[in-house]
Amino acid sequence: MKLNVLPMSKREASIITSWTYEPPYSLYSLSESKEQQDELLNGNYYVVVTAEDDVFGFYCYGESAKVPGGKREGCYDDQRPIDIGLGMNPVYTGQGYGLQFFELGLSVGEEMYAPEFFRLSVARWNQRAVTLYRKFGFNTEMTFMN
């Protein structure tokens, strides 16, 4: 599938905050609040659209990609990691697009930030995501409850 990465706009932020994931993935559903839409428009989020201009997903990098409870103050001070976060339109989840989608997010992050490595946080129970990330060489460094 042909995917394009663009700066986030109000239109896409509104669409993304309307997505609803089925349990147990409902944890990833965002609220349709103005605050949530403003977060998506803070400059750290990028929308991923199909050739037909359908909103496929999003990426975020840096502070926006860190989840509450998972901030690692002082870790890796001598290195230059970048945190990556992502979300896929629930219409496309579970259909085999994960490899392409995640690879594109890493490529965009590499081009923009040139990090020494990427970090991400994922719910331990989300085996689809854990399996995908392991294919790219990610491993568990730490766990936290939240």
* Confidence at residue 96, expressed as pLDDT on a 0 to 100 scale: 95
* Confidence at residue 115, expressed as pLDDT on a 0 to 100 scale: 94
* Confidence at residue 1, expressed as pLDDT on a 0 to 100 scale: 92
Distance between CA atoms of residues 20 and 31, nearest Å = 9
Domains and CATH numbers, the chain: 3-135 (3.40.630.30)
Task: Please answer whether residues 102 and 122 qualify as being in contact, where contact means their C-beta atoms are separated by less than 8 angstroms.
Answer: no
Distance between CA atoms of residues 74 and 90, nearest Å = 35
* Confidence at residue 68, expressed as pLDDT on a 0 to 100 scale: 66
* Confidence at residue 78, expressed as pLDDT on a 0 to 100 scale: 52
CA-nearest of 30, 57, 61 to 44 is 61
* Confidence at residue 69, expressed as pLDDT on a 0 to 100 scale: 58
Phi, psi of 133 (to 5 degrees): -65, -35
What is the tens place of the pLDDT at every residue in 117-142? 999 988 888 899 999 999 999 988 77
* Confidence at residue 122, expressed as pLDDT on a 0 to 100 scale: 87
What is the tens place of the pLDDT at every residue in 64-76? 988 765 555 545 4
* Confidence at residue 59, expressed as pLDDT on a 0 to 100 scale: 98
For the chain, residues with pLDDT lower than 50 are 74, 76-77
Cα 141 to chain centroid distance, Å, stands at: 18
